[in-house]
Each structure stands twice: as structure tokens, then as C-alpha cells.
Structure 1
Amino acid sequence: MMPAHQPLPSGIALEALLVELRRLSWGAADILLAYGRGEQPPYGFARALSVEEGGEGPVSAADLAVNRWLLDGLAGAFPAAAWTVLSEETAKEQLTPGEPLAAEWLWILDPLDGTKDFLQGTGEYAVHLALVHRGEPVLGVVLLPEMEELWLGVMATLSGGAGEAWCENRAGDRQPVRFSGRRALGELVLVASRNHRDQRLEQLLAALVLGDTRAIGSVGGKVATILRGETDLYISLSGKSAPKDWDMAAPEAVLRAAGGAFSHADGRPLAYNSGDVRQAGCLVASHGLSHLELCQKVAVAMASIDPGFRL
């Protein structure tokens, strides 16, 4: 049975919301590009001082500026909206461990996903915005400033029709999602983290015997490679730390709206605003063509690699 159509909160029209999200996204891109290049950022934000000068570093300055831009933008455009906004930058003040926020509708924001890549100048960082309804992401925005790509995904439960995802440039020109046609596990191309890998992940990849592997920074950037057809799957295997709600919500919404899949390796869906922002376990994102088979093989391999590990 298809899920019931769930409109947006009272007074919010989808097209008007998308217009505002485009404005906020490209504004965030301008802010991050300026900080990354050591230039004066727009919209009145202060230029970052270098660490050597005893000032605020470019990453924290960029984080805080984009966070303020997004929070103020949503509040200004939709002052009466019946939703709550949770950002990585405000989570410590907003959250109580073990207690979900009392919000039917929740924005989950990451103003800068991929801080190491931002610092290293790889360009592989992203901005994430996701609208979550009762624990499930229904709208996602993944912005890749350096690539001038804005990925948008609207789930069927929100649109009332089929789920849809696409990529836009600054001019508003749209490009469709182009999943690869690769199905056999031996042909699939995996996109993995450059900075978050451990021995268990290396063992898992060896057990799966996939076709190839690429390394990309942010989660949003990884999922974008799947949406372009360059890769086919992404696996997150928690080690000492785990990704958080703001790492996964927007990329999941865009990928699933496009017809892809994103789940735990045992098939469980990801849950947001659960009282624990950690997205722990073994998470698998893919173009969907071999998702069930892939998850089954991952589960079998992990039972040998790390017995007792909760997928």
C-alpha cells in the first residue's frame, strides 16, 4: 500500500518553499566559497581571521555564518510555520539525550558537511537541509558549492504524486538523475569515505568483491556520485564514532525520492529525531537495483568480521 499523501504544514506551499530553498542554498554557496578563498563573505558576515592571528578559523566562521543565514532565512520567509529547526550548530543547546524533540515537522540542517575537505581544499563539501515528518525525511536539499550543483528531492508522501529528484545549476536549469545500469555485485562501484575508514570496512569491501571504489568527502557528495551514475553504492560502518542525523537526512531524502534505497544492512529504515542523533550501525545507500542482495551479503560478511555487531 502506498503511503498517504501528507501535505506540508498549514500555510506552506511546496513551490513557494522550493523557491526559498533555492535562494537560501545559493546564498550559502556564496558564503562558503568566499570563506574557502579567503575573501570577504557576502550578507554582512565578518571575514575570518587565521588561527595564527588569534582569530576565528575559516571553518568555524563559515559554519556559523551559513548556519545563521539558513536559520534566519527560514524564519523570515515562514515566520508562522509549524515546524522546528535543528542544526548541527545548535544541537547541544536544543537536545536532551534520550528525548526526541516535540516536533511533528522538523528541519535538520548541516551548514557544512565535510569540514576536513573544506580545510584541505578538495571542494568535496556540502550543505544539507532535510524536512522530516514524524521521523521520516520527505524533502531533501544537497548543495555542492564548488560544483555548482543543487540536488533537490521530494518524496511521494509530500508531493501527492511520484517521488522526484533532480539537479539544478544557478540558472535553474535542471538535469535528471542518471543511475547507472550496473546490477551485478562484481560490477558495482562503491563510494567510500576518505577520512573515516577502519579495518572492518576494508575487510567488508574485500568480502563483497565489488567492481571498483572511489573516495569522496561529504555524505552529500557521495550520494551525488550515485545520482550521477558515477558510483552505485555507499556504506557507512560506524567505528568509534557514528554519523549524525544531519549527515544522513538530506542525502537519504534525495536518493530515495529518485528511486534509490537507503537502509540499515538488515533492512531497517533510518529513524530521525529518535532521541539519539547517532546513525550507528551498518548503513547502505544504493541506486536500488541490487539493494536487497547487497544488504544480505553485507549482513553475512559482518557476522564473520564482527560477530554481535548490530547492523
Structure 2
Amino acid sequence: MRRTVASLALVSTAVLFSTLVAAPGARADLVTHCVGTGGAVTVPNDLFVPAGQSCALTGTTVTGNISVAAGANLVVTGGRFSGEVQVAADGYLDATDTTVGGGIELASGGYGVFLKNARSGAVTVRAKGSSTIDSFLYTERATIDGTVTAGAGEVRLDDTTQVTGNVSSTGTYYTDVHDSFVDGTLSVLNSATGSVVCGSAVRGRATFSGNLGGVQLGPNGSLDSCASGGYWGREVAISNTTGGVRVDDNIIDGQLTLTANNPVARVAANNRIRGGVVGDQAPPSAAKSAATLGKAAKAHDAGDSRAQERRTDAVQEAKAAGDAGLG
């Protein structure tokens, strides 16, 4: 785990009330506040988790939108949300076996979003800004109906995650795609520790540029463990990368373009590249020696340690707060 966070303080009392709130120029909507735990009931309006509080739901249906305030946590299993989910600074959303009808947005400085066996609309992680918290987006066996757009933190799409739109990241700590499918384009720009794509398929064009920690497409690289390469339906372009570029065991149904990478890219002989390779690459002998890089310490952790830590604390707090009285 790259970093740890302090545990949240235990919540000593449960708060539940409904109130009418109206934004300027908007109609008033009934909002249910959730602190504590909730079960298999239907909330027939918007749901709000107050600042610094925790809400843990099991089998709950929410017909409206959901807001997770600053420092708050929402942990849901088996839920059905009709609307969108907005997560504020230092807020956290953890969704398992859950459907979110709308999009998910993590605000600047948000703690993170973890989706497992979940389905949602487009997912957005806002840029970090001046916040001291660096966000994350982890997915496992998730389906995202729309785009993934990330401007900060750790991004890992894993374990048969499917994205129906484009995946675009700029200025993240890293952006990795493992054993997953992207139906649109993939763009990874200016990541601090680079990008790894393994065992995945990307239907559209792929662009990697300005990544400081390197780019690893397939196994035998220095950034992360991989079992296999991937399939690329269009062109792949890797440019202005420092820290090393490794392309191994891939099928590229287009051209591989390599520009201004330092050191020059290593392209293994086992790749099948329909459009050929354009640009500077290491000679074949050097490319073969890159297999030893797999023994190096991996810069990109697998797993969801940060999510697990926050999830555990949030559930404990919600249980301590008691029944949220949702119905």
C-alpha cells in the first residue's frame, strides 16, 4: 500500500431526518439523511450522508440522487440507485453487487471510489487541486456504461471490468488496466508513475504521453506483475516517456509509434503489430534482456488496501451509530 490514512472517529449517535431543500432556481426535493445502517427498503427520494458520518446499506433501493458530504462514507452491498452519486472532498463510496443508474463523480480531494461486481454510468475523478488527499478509483468485475475520466490519484481497472466509452486520465499517480475491456479509446497522460496494461483489450486508439514512471504493455516489465499482453484494435502511440517503455506479447491491429522516449522503448519479438513499428526502439538483443525486469520491485501495487481500510472503519462507525431508520 502506498500510503495510509488516519482512521475516522467513531460516531456515537445516530441522526436521521428528512427535510425539504431547494437549490436556487431548482424545485424542492425531499432528502433523507443517513447515518448508521439500513436494510432492504426503498428510499423514495434523494439520499444524503452528512459530513464526517458513515452510512452502510444492504439491499437498499434509492430512487433519487445520492450525495456523500465531506469526510463521509457510503458503503453499499446489493443496492439499486436510480440516480447519480456525488462524493465530496475526503468522501468515500464503496459499492459491491450494486447498480447505479447515473454517473459517479468524486470531487477534488475525494478519498476514493471502489466498485466491485457493480454497474454504473460514467465515472469522473476530479483533479487533485490543493488537497493533501490523493484520490483513487479501483474497480473489479465492474461495468461502466460511459466514460472514465480521471485527473488525480490511483486508477486501476481490474478483473474483467468493462468500459463502454473512452478511458482518459491526465495527471494521475498511475493508471492501470488489468484483464479488462475498453470499448473506446485509452489515453494516459502525465502520470507520475506511469501506466500498465495487461491481459486487456482496447478497441480504439491508445495514447500514452508524458508519463514519468514508464509504460508497460504486457508482461516482463518493471512496474507490475502481468501474465499476458493485450489486444489493441487501433494505433498505439507512446511518447515523451521516462522510466522505460516495455511492449511485450501484444496484438496491435494498427501501427505502434514510439517518439522521444528516454530510454528508448523495448519491443519484444513476440508482438504481432499489423501496421509495423515507427520510431526509436532498442535493438532486439536489448529487448530480450528486458525479461529480467520482471524480477524488479513492482511500482504499482495490486489490491485495494486503501479501500479495505476505509471500508472497515466506515462499517464499524455505521454499526456504532445504529439503525438509520430508513424504513
- The alignment's TM-score, normalised by the length of structure 1, stands at 0.25
- The alignment's TM-score, normalised by the length of structure 2, stands at 0.25
Name which structure has the greater RCO, CA cutoff 8 Å, separation 6+: 1
Larger Rg: 2
Higher-helix-fraction structure: 1
